[in-house]
Amino acid sequence: MAAVRFDSVSRVFAKELRPAVDRLSLDIPDGEFLVLVGPSGCGKSTTLRMLAGLERVDGGSIWIGDSDVTRVAPQNRDIAMVFQNYALYPHMSVEQNMGFALKMARTPRPQIRTRVGEAARLLALDEFLGRKPGALSGGQRQRVAMGRAIVRDPQVFLMDEPLSNLDAKLRVQTRTEISALQRRLGTTTVYVTHDQVEAMTMGDRVAVMNEGRLQQVDAPKRLYARPANVFVAGFIGSPPMNLRVGRLDRDGVLLDGYRIPLGRDLLARAAAAGAGRDGELVVGFRPDAAELTAESEPGLAVVVEEVEELGFDAFAYAAALDDAAESLHSADIVARLPGDTAVSRGQKMRLRVNPQGIHLFSTKTGESLD
Amino acid sequence: MIDADFEVVRDEAPPMSLARGATLVRRARAQLGVGTSTWWFVLPALGLYAFIVLIPTVRGSYYSFTDWDGLNPVKHWVGLDNFTAILHDDAARGAIKHTVLIAIAIMLIQNAIGLLLALGVNSQIKSRNILRVVLFAPAVMTPVVVAFLWQYLYTPDGAINRALGAVGLHGLERGWLGDTSLALWCIVVVIIWQFAGYSMVIFLAGLQSIPAEITEASAVDGAGAFRRFWYVTRPLIAPAITVNLMLSIIGGLKLFDQVWVLTGGGPGYATDTLSTLIYRNAFQFGEFAYSTALALLLTVFVAVVSGAQYRLLRSQEYA
């Protein structure tokens, strides 16, 4: 087991204008479960493949423990990887698949048998040891791929979207199994996913990437509570944070003619950090920071466009009535309302936004002003 | 009462007619002999194949038990005389030896080179597409044309000797096709030059069917390039190996055109193969019956060798 360090690592693919991974610096302490998350094409898989040695590094260096592995071949890195399509050897039995790495390490045969047996018991694969991967279900194949990784007791586990080929129910179950297994083995793990639920539930820390750049690394809760910039705010959370351009006012922020009062400290910081021309800035609030209020009260005037009833609560997708200000991500404002609220399509309503739930971002840089 | 009758009819009518329909279909199938067997669909092609190949082969084989000379309408049944003659014929024994040597050499060397080329052009090198075309190009040429080209290269004042002379290796200059100890290998070189690219294409198809992830997984699992090939790539291209070994051994055993053009079986009988011997005996010496016996022997030989090889190789492939 070992810590992993990315030191200003870049990868530029031929004929691409922008680097797939751009000067990534990231420290992963020994034993941590780190999730790399981001939209497709954000560079998360490339990052993982560079750590595996399957992708060339064009700049910077990668360290596993005390050794610089930047130019080390994959077979000499002592890492184990679970691939998206599992990449099981189709001509080998489950037992041979799981024991292959040990065989390559010239482990004595009796010891291979013992260790494969132990891993198989741990993953409930005992009865399938003699089968070929072709005769296994998707979930069983996934477990064999896991088994192939854990049987080696490597320095680092690398997982590249290992759950994306499972059905929804199995995915939830396997998610908790992998987390539990990692905690039990205590092996440093780098896990790539585009699924933010996996990221939030599995990682000790989550690294959000976009367009080759690391946006924020933090514990899941902090990522949700204090997004570092507009991208993280819009990416983490489902439905995402509402982001609209507003204007700094004397004692609050003005959003489509609705003044949300804010604390002096936050206002001072926002002003100091340089809210744009005319005090313009991006105002963000999560769907659950909005609540229905009476017509006579101050609030954001919206028209309901769609309602998603989820039983306990409902998501109302609405458009601002005074649409002078331009929204950043979509024309919609999403509000999470109690399930028994009577709202319907085309209905006008007024939303009060809880000042505690307000996030402010620079219009120029997108960075948080909180 | 009426109601009850009506009910009965309405309930039973659809199942009865369905059952009756199924019975009719079954009976029709039984009469035609189709349904359970797919042989019926093979029949037209099989008929054509029998007419063009099987029947002539069997009828032709008949002559190997006679003393027919190809012209005389009179022929006599001689039993196995032609076959015992083969056993005592030095030319035939030499031809069998050469045929087996050529076939084994081609099978091993052509496929080894083809595999190396395939591994080379399957990599990420920039010129891989142009190399694939260039390396495969000889295989699309007519064998006789290729043989004539090489004959010029092999002549005593041909390109090979001149190239050797130009770099000062006069000692290596030879009358290549006139040298009894070299001529056979000169033929093997021509075949391999022409068909290594063909083997390459078949291996390449096999290599490209292996997902990159699997090779990557074996690298992460600690296997270096050679063990990656041995434990992962080789078993996964086993079907391509089977096809290549089969095609090359059959091609080697049947070899005729190139030998005929390059050496005509000479010098002396040094490069005679079964095919050239059959041709010479039949069309130059008029020994049709004896040639037919040799041809039958070759057919059985090819069938036995390739059949055994096929079973052996298929058992190496994973299910």
Last residue of a domain, one of A205, A227, A249: A227
Last residue of a domain, one of A204, A227, A250: A227
Average pLDDT for chain B: 84
**Average pLDDT, stretch A246-256?**
83
**Average pLDDT, stretch A333-339?**
89
Q: Which residues sit opposite A327 in a β-bridge?
A: A244
Q: Which residue of A has its CA nearest to B317?
A: A91
Task: Please say if the pLDDT value at position A370 is more than 70.
Answer: yes
Distance CA B103, CA B109 (A): 10
- Contact status, residue A48 vs residue A160, Cβ threshold 8 Å: yes
Per-residue pLDDT tens digits for A108-117:
999 999 999 9
Task: Please say if the pLDDT value at position A256 is more than 90.
Answer: no
Q: Note which residues in 149-208 of chain A have CB less than 8 A from chain B.
A: 152, 158
CATH number for the domain harbouring residue A72: 3.40.50.300
The answer as to whether A169 is a domain residue is: yes
Tell me the backbone φ, ψ of residue A238, rounded to 5 degrees: -140, 120
Of A73, A77, A91, the CB nearest to B235: A91
The answer as to whether B76 is a domain residue is: no
Q: Among A151-155, A291-295, A321-325, B241-245, whose mean pLDDT is lowest?
A: A321-325
pLDDT of residue A331: 56
User: B234 falls in which pLDDT band (50, 70, 90)?
Assistant: very high
Q: What is the signed CA dihedral for A128, A134, A135, A138, rounded to 10 degrees? A: 80
Per-residue pLDDT tens digits for B104-124:
999 999 999 999 999 998 887
Dump the DSSP string for A185-208. Answer: H--EEEEEES-HHHHHHH-SEEEE
**Average pLDDT, stretch A1-25?**
89
Given an 8 Å threshold on Cβ–Cβ distance, is A75 in contact with B219?
yes
User: A325 falls in which pLDDT band (50, 70, 90)?
Assistant: very low
Domain that residue A337 falls in: 239-362
The answer as to whether A192 is a domain residue is: yes
* Number of residues in chain B: 319
The answer as to whether B51 is a domain residue is: no
User: B128: which residues sit within 8 A by CB, 6+ positions away?
Assistant: B121, B122
- Contact status, residue A284 vs residue A243, Cβ threshold 8 Å: yes
Domain that residue B171 falls in: 89-317
Task: Please say if the pLDDT value at position B24 is more than 80.
Answer: no
Co-location of A145 and A176 in the same domain: yes
The answer as to whether A370 is a domain residue is: no
Number of Cβ within a 10 Å radius of residue A185: 16
Dump the DSSP string for A98-159. Answer: HHHHHHHTT--HHHHHHHHHHHHHHTT-GGGTTS-GGGS-HHHHHHHHHHHHHTT--SEEEE
Is any Cβ of chain B less than 8 angstroms from the Cβ of A337?
no
Per-residue pLDDT tens digits for A62-74:
999 999 999 999 9
The answer as to whether B249 is a domain residue is: yes
Co-location of A180 and A291 in the same domain: no
What total of structural domains would you count in chain B? 1
Which residue in B241, B218, B23, B291 sits closest to A101, CA to CA?
A: B218
**The tokens 């007024």 sit on which residue?**
A350
pLDDT of residue B7: 40
Co-location of A144 and A29 in the same domain: yes
The answer as to whether A233 is a domain residue is: no
Average pLDDT for chain A: 88
pLDDT of residue B33: 56
Co-location of A122 and A217 in the same domain: yes
Q: Which residue of B has its CA nearest to A75?
A: B222
Q: Among A345-359, B67-81, B85-99, B117-131, whose mean pLDDT is lowest?
A: B67-81
What total of structural domains would you count in chain A? 2
Last residue of a domain, one of A227, A258, A288: A227
**Average pLDDT, stretch B201-219?**
93
Tell me: cis bond preceding A39? Omega within 30 of 0 counts. Answer: no
pLDDT of residue A141: 92
* ipTM, interface predicted TM-score of the complex: 0.82
pLDDT of residue B52: 94
**Average pLDDT, stretch B256-279?**
87
* Number of residues in chain A: 370
Co-location of A92 and A154 in the same domain: yes
Task: Please say if the pLDDT value at position A8 is more than 60.
Answer: yes
Task: Please say if the pLDDT value at position A169 is more than 80.
Answer: yes
Co-location of A37 and A186 in the same domain: yes
pTM of the model: 0.79
Per-residue pLDDT tens digits for A296-315:
888 888 888 888 888 888 89
Q: Is B166 left (phi over 0), alpha (psi -120 to 50) or beta?
A: alpha
CATH number for the domain harbouring residue B242: 1.10.3720.10
Task: Please say if the pLDDT value at position A204 is more than 60.
Answer: yes
Co-location of A323 and A212 in the same domain: no
Distance CA A351, CA A299 (A): 5
Co-location of A327 and A190 in the same domain: no
Co-location of A169 and A306 in the same domain: no
The answer as to whether A37 is a domain residue is: yes
Distance CA A251, CA B215 (A): 62
Distance CA A161, CA A190 (A): 11
Co-location of A295 and A355 in the same domain: yes
Co-location of A135 and A272 in the same domain: no
Co-location of A257 and A341 in the same domain: yes
Which residue in A297, A292, A299 sits closest to A257, CA to CA?
A: A299
Is any Cβ of chain B less than 8 angstroms from the Cβ of A81?
yes
Which residue in B60, B28, B192 sits closest to B117, CA to CA?
A: B192
Is any Cβ of chain B less than 8 angstroms from the Cβ of A101?
yes
Residue of higher predicted confidence among A160 and B317: A160
User: B96: which residues sit within 8 A by CB, 6+ positions away?
Assistant: B274
Q: Which residues of A touch B319 (CB under 8 A)?
A: 132
Per-residue pLDDT tens digits for A102-136:
999 999 999 999 999 999 988 888 899 999 999 99
